Amino acid sequence: MSPAEYEKARRRLIRRDKVLGAAIKTIGPCGLAERQRKDHLSALVGAIVSQQLSTKAAATIFGRFVALFPEGHIPHAHAIHAIEDATLRSVGLSGQKVGYLRDLCTRIADGRLQLEELEALEDELVIERLTSVKGFGRWTAEMFLMFRLHRPDVLPVGDLGIVNAIQRLYGLRKRPDAKKITALGEAWRPYRSVACWYLWQTLRNEPLAKATKSPRRSQSTSRAR
């Protein structure tokens, strides 16, 4: 998506959803494009490293990992294969994650996973390809779609941050399930990825809850009906 497309998405979301729109106005321009890895391989490796870790811890370990390569850049999957397990463990990777990396690199090397084709595939086919790799679930594939391929209409209904953000922003009594989130997200098409980025931001901004308090109440009431 281009900067102009992100702005178009922002305006459309503001028009279609008054609750989310109030948050968007407070937050400002979408920063989704700024969180992107250099290439597909580093994005997938980063996804493995990040599993079950805080953002800070994941960044530290990923930094140590890429420092194993010349100029801090992963040249290709074969370069990862050439590193011994003990060295990978020394940068902070668990034995399980080392196994995931091995499986990823093996699939790339033997052609079962062709990174260059991912750009041209539909979202569900990308998810199908990636979830064949050990350690990659649907959520990981969805994050790749959003933050590497910049697909505009991804809605990760299983993301805990999205669940919590919706409950908080819309004043729901209980956490929304996948069906509720999917229904709510219909108003955000075809820019559900952008909507999700704004939802994540609402969890980082405490004053935002006060700024959107009134419209949240009225919207949640209307949705209940």
pLDDT tops 70 at residue 216: no
**Matching CATH topology for 3-34+155-224 and 40-147?**
no
- Assign domain 3-34+155-224 one CATH number from 1.10.1670.40, 3.40.50.300, 3.90.1580.10, 3.40.50.2300: 1.10.1670.40
pTM above 0.75, yes or no: yes
SS3 assignment, position 170 = coil
**145 near 126, Cβ under 8 Å?**
yes
- DSSP 8-class letter at 166: H
Each domain of the chain, given as residue ranges in start order, spans 3-34+155-224, 40-147
Q: Point out the catalytic residue in the list 39, 103, 153, 159.
A: 159
**195 near 188, Cβ under 8 Å?**
yes
**221 near 24, Cβ under 8 Å?**
no
Question: What's the pLDDT score for residue 50?
Answer: 86
Question: What's the pLDDT score for residue 206?
Answer: 55
Question: What's the pLDDT score for residue 5?
Answer: 92
More confident residue, 32 or 155: 155
DSSP letters for 64-117: HHHTTSGGG----HHHHHTS-HHHHHHTT--HHHHHHHHHHHHHHHHTSS-GGG
The answer as to CATH 2.40.30.10 being correct for domain 40-147 is no
Question: What's the pLDDT score for residue 223?
Answer: 33
159 catalytic per annotation: yes
More confident residue, 207 or 199: 199
Question: What's the pLDDT score for residue 89?
Answer: 97
